[in-house]
Amino acid sequence: MSTKGLSGAPRRVIFGPVRDGGRVDVVARRISRAIGLGLITDGEQLPSESVLAESLKVSTVTLREALSSLRDQGLLETRRGRGGGSFVRTPLEPSAARVRDLLGGLCPHELREIGDHHTAVSGTAAKLAAERAGAEQCSGLGTLVGHLARAKTIGERRRADARFHVGIAAAAQSQRLTRDEITLQGEVGELLWLPACGESPDLGSAVEQHSGILIAIEGGHGELARSRAEAHVERGITRLIELRRRLS
């Protein structure tokens, strides 16, 4: 799903003004997170430097340094000539060892804090989506459930999972919730699909949970959508805390 197919909220969050004074690392992290979550897709061309700098409200010098950092990370490639520009490259599948190291850097208390925040954001977004989403947005969420069901690799599943949750926040018509959901997915989304004892998280169960949230949203059942979204997040965080304790 490219940013062209996203609703207004995610696009405005990704390409909207940055905070923290528009530092190079902030700009690079904003774009790299969107690429990692699949909100900007492989082969997609970013806006021109002048347009992107204006959209992000940063200087062209800052933007160029950020784009250079992303190229060094292998997340962008520059093509010259007519039709040239900066094009997205989907990151390689993360190694289980690297993801375990990331998990090892978070203590159970930190994971619980992230879980509390994520539960509040996702639950509220689901409730508001049930109250505000139209048929087109519900159809888009249904497409995202299908993407997860058909995802083959860990990376594909992680990106499909993230897009669904960001899509719910967008359907809630809240830029703040969308921004928070993108940030939270960037923090723990990769960890949620970490295999344990050689087995990946249950794909069928994840699809069933996504479908249940969507059914509640489509039916306009706000509290049911909230409770299902909260339970979905809680299951993932509980699993991560257990995995983290095993690492200890």
The tally of CA atoms less than 13 A away on the side-chain side of residue 156 is 10
Q: Looking at the domain 3-88, which fold is it?
A: Arc Repressor Mutant, subunit A (1.10.10)
CA distance 203 to 157: 8
Residue-wise pLDDT tens digits, 80-124: 888 889 999 987 776 777 788 889 999 999 999 999 999 999 999
Helix axes 108-132, 175-192, angle to 10 degrees: 130
Residue range 112-150, pLDDT digits in tens: 999 999 999 999 999 999 999 999 999 999 999 999 999
H-state helical runs in the chain: 8-15, 24-36, 49-56, 60-72, 96-104, 108-132, 135-150, 154-171, 175-192, 203-218, 222-247
| Sequence spans of domains, the chain | 3-88, 96-247
Q: Output the CA angle 164-78-24, nearest 5 degrees.
A: 70
Residue-wise pLDDT for 148-168, tens only, equals 999 998 889 999 999 999 999
Mean pLDDT confidence for 217-234: 98
Say yes or no to pLDDT of 194 above 70: yes
pLDDT of residue 99: 85
pTM for the model: 0.86
CA dist 12 → 34, 56, 75, 85, 98 (Å): 12, 10, 21, 21, 31
Q: Is the pLDDT of residue 2 over 50?
A: no
Architecture of domain 96-247: Up-down Bundle (1.20)
